[in-house]
Structure 1
Amino acid sequence: MNRLIFGAALIAALAAGAEARASVTVIGGGLAEACSKAAISGKTEARLERTCTESLEKEMLSNRDRAGTLVNRGILKMRRMNWEGAASDFTEAVRVKPDLGEAYANRGAVSIGMHRYAESLPDLNKGLALGVEAPAKVYFDRALAYEGLDDAKSAYFDYQKAVELSPDWEAPKTELARFHVERKE
């Protein structure tokens, strides 16, 4: 029963944090910038995915902007729980720009959404190692993964790190409130 409750809580946490996923800012006008703004905005409409697709098909993009647009489209897919489509976009972004931390971090989040907790950890760790704009969100996701693996101690420390990095963010504070910590002497 605890596993079912955690699973429902996990999906709720991912959905609630969907607007906070690690998007990639693309500037310079055009469809790629519109796709970037859609990912940042927290919107979920399918038409916004089509804007990203059109950008990828029609615009001349640098590798960074192409990978960023793939990440942003993946975020839009992830918000609609299209896990396979999002994973495909993040994997392609990694292929195009292997040093883009956001691509790994988001692919890790998709693995969590698919209840593949152990599979998420290498991607989340790689995203943190490469650097992301919002590491607190990656620590939060990694804490969710650790909880899915029944590693409460690691989850606790990652929720703490998320609070340390983003003290005004309520989600990790809420998760920490569930823990009871006892010190062994």
Structure 2
Amino acid sequence: MGELDAGLDDYGRVIELEPKQFEGWYNRGSAHIAARQYDDAISDLSEAIRLRPNVGYAYCNRGLSYLRKAERVKALADFEKGLSLWADMPLCYYGRGEIRLADGKYQEAIDDFTRGINSKPTAESLAQRATAYESIGEKKKALKDYRSALSLQPRLKTAAAGIARLTQNNQD
């Protein structure tokens, strides 16, 4: 509902009542991510992981927080750990793909984005995979992904720009 502050307050009360419960820490950490409060998210998710170290999605969320803080080594370690615990987590694939894309490891990025998209497609992941395809000269695959991204999110600027860039010299 967009009531992040109220949600954070409620999770804080849950943690006060039951500080040894994973769910309170995990949920408040996830709410901190939504509020773009990444240091607080990392703190809460680290406590959730301490309480239940075998829950892969907690590592994925903490990895996302590290990634948004540009702490790529820590982010990658968390994505890898999350995937080692549970191999079907789109968020970990998307995060790792984002790192690989930035590192110029385009085929590895495509592989990660594809694994995530096969489970839970998002406009952003399709646009990022399209960027990787474009980087290796796979124009048709890039256009298809940019168009799919726009079908999910019609105002996604990166997808619209990609289509414009790839079709400026000829009409596809």
- Indicate whether the TM-score tops 0.5: yes
Q: 1:32 aligns with which of 19, 22, 26?
A: 26
Q: Distance between the aligned counterparts of 2:130 and 2:41, measured in 1?
A: 30
Distance 1:30 1:181, change over 3 A: same
**Unmatched 5+ stretches in structure 2:** 1-21
**Higher RCO, 1 or 2 (CA under 8 Å, sep at least 6)?**
1
Q: Distance between the aligned counterparts of 2:83 and 2:143, measured in 1?
A: 29
> What is the SS of the residue equivalent to 2:63?
helix
Q: Distance between the aligned counterparts of 1:106 and 1:70, measured in 2?
A: 11
Match of 2:48 in 1: 55
Distance 1:44 1:78, change over 3 A: farther
Match of 1:173 in 2: 160
1:75 maps to 2:64:
yes
Q: 1:106 aligns with which of 86, 90, 95?
A: 95
**Unmatched 5+ stretches in structure 1:** 1-27
One-letter amino acid of the structure 2 residue matched with residue 32 of structure 1: Y
Distance 1:29 1:93, change over 3 A: closer
Q: Are the aligned partners of 1:44 and 1:80 in contact in 2 as well (CA < 8 Å)?
A: no
Distance 1:51 1:159, change over 3 A: same
Across the two proteins, how many residue pairs are aligned to each other? 150
> What is the SS of the residue equivalent to 1:178?
helix
TM-score (norm 1): 0.70
Match of 1:156 in 2: 143
Give structure 1 regions of 4+ aligned residues with deviation exceeding 6 angstroms.
none
Distance 1:139 1:50, change over 3 A: same
- Larger C-alpha radius of gyration, 1 or 2? 2
1:139 Cα deviation from its structure 2 partner: 0.8
TM-score (norm 2): 0.75
Name the Cα RMSD after superposition.
2.3
1:44 Cα deviation from its structure 2 partner: 5.1
Task: Name which of structure 1's ranges 32-41 and 84-93 shifts more when overlaid on structure 2.
Answer: 32-41
- Identical-pair percentage: 23
Q: Distance between the aligned counterparts of 1:89 and 1:159, measured in 2?
A: 28
Q: Residue by residue, what CA displacement relative to the aligned partner does 1:68-112 show, whole Å, maximum 9, x if unpaired?
A: 211111111111222221111111111111122222222111211
Q: Are the aligned partners of 1:83 and 1:114 in contact in 2 as well (CA < 8 Å)?
A: no
One-letter amino acid of the structure 2 residue matched with residue 109 of structure 1: E
